[in-house]
Copies of this chain bind each other. A is one copy, B any other.
């Protein structure tokens, strides 16, 4: 496979991240006592223009679950989309980290929740001990189908959540792509959530995601949970370094813009084949088995998406020529 559109998950590490890793090589305090880890709160507080507390973690799954575990008791429930990553692709990790708390599944176009789809889950729940009560809502920015919540959509969900005393979590594995698409500030793209998994690995990092707590008291609990989950790495400076590199000069945004631009270029060639509007770096394209075969013969790598479609993902390192080639190949089918 020479033209990779399989996943941003497997892309190489950005040169600036390598630089930061190598620069972190001198000995420093173990765990998260090093200077780089200690400066994360400051760096992200600047990004979000408010005081936040930040922990690194090695995967998005860990980031999501450590965040949720601070928001939901073992006997509670989390409302999320039926196709959310925490429901579909994390191997039951929320059940593990939340000690059996339940995911309460909601509908919504483009894998996005709406106030109505949330209400459709909550409203039938009897307020008694026989039914698991909702304690939090988890949204994904950008969604599993690469769709972005507009700030006003987040505001509506937040209002609904606050009225029901529900906490709010955002899975931001592709938060950068969403922010790049929305063109708003990071704070606006995050809305008023309590905790955000801020993804870096898909965006040029090696092994570090950030868990951003907008209520620093939650971070204090999460630190114990992180250790207890075996996620407190002893040489934490190598994780912190990646995050700092991503924030420096807004590389997280420029990398995401590059990925989004490549996706947009391909999207323009897909016309009616698109199953979802392309707002981030994922394309879901109707393609027959024969058409997919033709593309694969041209060395394009991608996943099948059911019997009649394919998923293409661009990344920070997608080459202009590859995006163009794919666009032309699809146009020529």
Contacts and interface: CB of A to CB of B under 8 A. Distances in A.
A130 B32 CA distance: 12
B28 A10 contact: yes
A12 B28 CA distance: 9
A163 interface: no
Interface string A5-39: 01101111100001000100111111100100000
A204 to B, nearest CB: 11
Given A59-B231, A238-B206, A10 B22 contact: no
Contacts of A224: 75, 91, 129, 133
A165 interface: no
17 contacts: A9-B31, A9-B235, A10-B27, A13-B25, A18-B22, A74-B228, A75-B224, A77-B92, A89-B131, A92-B101, A93-B229, A95-B101, A96-B100, A99-B100, A130-B227, A206-B238, A207-B238
10 closest cross-chain pairs (CB), A and B: A95-B100, A62-B230, A91-B227, A61-B230, A129-B227, A10-B30, A9-B234, A9-B30, A99-B99, A92-B132
A202 interface: yes
A98 interface: yes
B59 A74 contact: no
Contacts of A7: 30
Nearest to A223: B129
Contacts of A229: 62, 93, 96, 229-230
Contact of A27 (B4, B59, B63): B4
B59 A75 contact: no
Contact of A102 (B74, B92, B131, B202): B92
Given A92-B75, A224-B129, A229-B93, A234 B29 contact: no
A49 to B, nearest CB: 29
A80 to B, nearest CB: 13
Interface string A229-253: 1111111001100000000000000
A91 to B, nearest CB: 4
B233 A88 contact: no
Contact of A130 (B77, B89, B94, B206): B89
Contact of A129 (B77, B101, B226, B239): B226
B65 A230 contact: yes
B57 A74 contact: no
A150 interface: no
A221 B221 CA distance: 19
With most chain B CB atoms within 10 A of its CB, the pick from A77, A88, A130, A202 is: A130
A210 to B, nearest CB: 14
A206 to B, nearest CB: 6
A90 B234 contact: no
A160 interface: no
A258 interface: no
Interface in A185-210: 201-202, 206-207
A43 B224 CA distance: 35
A329 interface: no
Contact of A231 (B31, B58, B202, B227): B58
